Each structure stands twice: as C-alpha cells, then as structure tokens.
Amino acid sequence: MSTSRKHPTTARGKAPARNQNDAPDIPRYRDAKAAENYTKILPRKVASTKFVCRSTLTSLEVLEGVTQLFRKFGWENLLNLMAHTNELATREFLADCGYIDFATINDILGLPSSNTSTVFDVLPTEFNDETFSTKIIRGIFSCAGQDKATFIIHPCLCIDHRILLCMVFARKEASQVTKNEVFFLWCMTGRDCPLIPDFAFLFFHKCAHMRSKASSDICIGGLVTLLARGLDIELPDEYQPVDNKNILDERALTNMHHICRWSRNNFTLYYPQGVAYLVLPGCNIPKSQE
C-alpha cells in the first residue's frame, strides 16, 4: 500500500458483492492484490480495540495528566473515541484501505493533520532512551537492541502507552516497551519534539505492516468502525461486533497490571531541576516490583 497522500474518493456505501464461485468468507475486490491481502490476513485473530474510559481516569485522578500528555500532539480527542470492532469490516479495510485521504481520516477522528511524513524509525540524537527509560520504567534495553520485559511505573504514562498501543502502534501485548514507544512518551512529556507526528500517516503505515506480519492479533478494528461511520458506510447486519470488552476500565487496567493504587496528591517530577517540567500524579511501586 502506498503511503503517499491521495485525493479523497467516494467511499463504498455497502460491503463488496460476493461471487457465488468465491469462497464464502472472501469478498470480491476490485483488484487481485486486495483479494490476496484479504487471504493473507485470514489466519490472524481480530481483537477488540481498547478505548479509554474517562470516568475511570477521573476516579483514579489521572484524567488531567493523561489529557495533558496527549495534548502535546493535539491528540486529546483520542480520549473521547469509542466504538466496537467488527471483524469482517476490519479484515476488508486492511485488504483494501489505500484510497482514503489522510486528512479525511484525521478529520473523522477529530485530530490535526501534520505535514510530517515519517514513522520515526530513526530517532533524533538528542533522545537518550536509557536515561529517560530508567526514570519511567522498570527494566532497560539490552545492548543488542532487543527489548526486555518492562513495566511503566508512572500511572499517566502507563495509561498513555496502553492507549497508543492499539491506536498508533497497532500492538495488543503491553509486556514490553519498544524504543520507538519510549520516544513518543518522551516527546509527550514536554520535550522539544523535532516533529509532530501525523496520526493518519502512522495509522496507514501500521496497516501495511500488519498485512505482512505472520502472527499477532489485529487490534485496530475500533478505528475502522469509526472511519466507516465518518464515511457514511453502512455495515451489513452480518457484520457483528467482536464479542469482548472494548473499554479500558479500572478492572481491565488492573488485570493487565497497568495501574496500581497509588497515594493521592503525591507528585513526581521527571525533569532536571531548573527545566520546565510536567507535573503528574506519582505512584507507589508495589514491593514485588521494587
């Protein structure tokens, strides 16, 4: 799939028609490449996209901190999104999603467009992942560049990372934090980010990457549903939602070990003294993780 910007085209109002000679679970596409893409992702499980529950963040007293982090990129509206994942719609979108304009995607999701066409594969020299990582996570990266099991000890950054996993990095498992993800958190905590990322550009890059991966669950289906609504695409009755929870409520976050009970009104500063900093609620690290 090309990642260059394209002019908007008229979206399909209905699902692709099916040919009687086709396999029952493979739609008829406009070209052979899309059909090939669809077949390639059939073995992959479609998991429900996890959206944030604002009432939970309010009760945990972290809504302000989480919102402030996303505001750095102008992405605070990600906290207002909510939709179920439809398996068939998600698979079809991944197979044939190269025709939607980037600006249209950002508009539908209520996010700003940027002229930054980068996926941050090469990180800026001023970013020191080990220095920042030691302040926010338990565990460091190995010298060979491989990830070690990590646990983000700051609740706001921890929740931000979990939201970014599904929506930006298209990754379900949160047991590890990649250098690229640490860089995003570094930028969101007020550093002078050299570039403001374009959400739609990153989203399409991850869609193309998901088609080439042999394993791991597909977890961007909730965003696909939101795009279908914004494009006035009516999903047929047989397009049923994935039957699992799509909300990051307190129980879900606790089960994933992403939050713990921390002392109220406790603050942690992650910036050197004398440098502008972002004040966020601190947390007590459980004894088992000290």
CB neighbours of 202 closer than 8 A, spacing ≥ 6?
119, 168
Instruction: Please give the full DSSP string across 36-55, using - where no structure is assigned.
Output: HHHHHHTTS-BPPPPEE-HH
Percent of the chain with pLDDT over 90: 13
Under DSSP, the state recorded for 208 is H
pLDDT in tens, 166-176: 888 887 766 67
Average pLDDT of the residues in 224-238: 88
**Alpha-carbon distances of 136 from 33, 78, 200, 239, 283, rounded to whole Å:** 43, 23, 28, 41, 11
Rg of the chain over CA atoms, in angstroms?
Answer: 20
* Sign of the Cα pseudo-torsion (34, 37, 39, 44, in order): negative
Say yes or no to pLDDT of 62 above 60: yes
pLDDT score of 256: 63
Mean pLDDT taken over the chain: 72
Say yes or no to pLDDT of 197 above 80: yes
CB neighbours of 69 closer than 8 A, spacing ≥ 6?
156, 157, 160, 185, 188, 189, 278
pLDDT score of 290: 34
Of 37-41, 58-62, 129-133, 254-258, minimum mean pLDDT range: 254-258
> pTM, whole model, 2 decimals?
0.75
Say yes or no to pLDDT of 48 above 70: yes
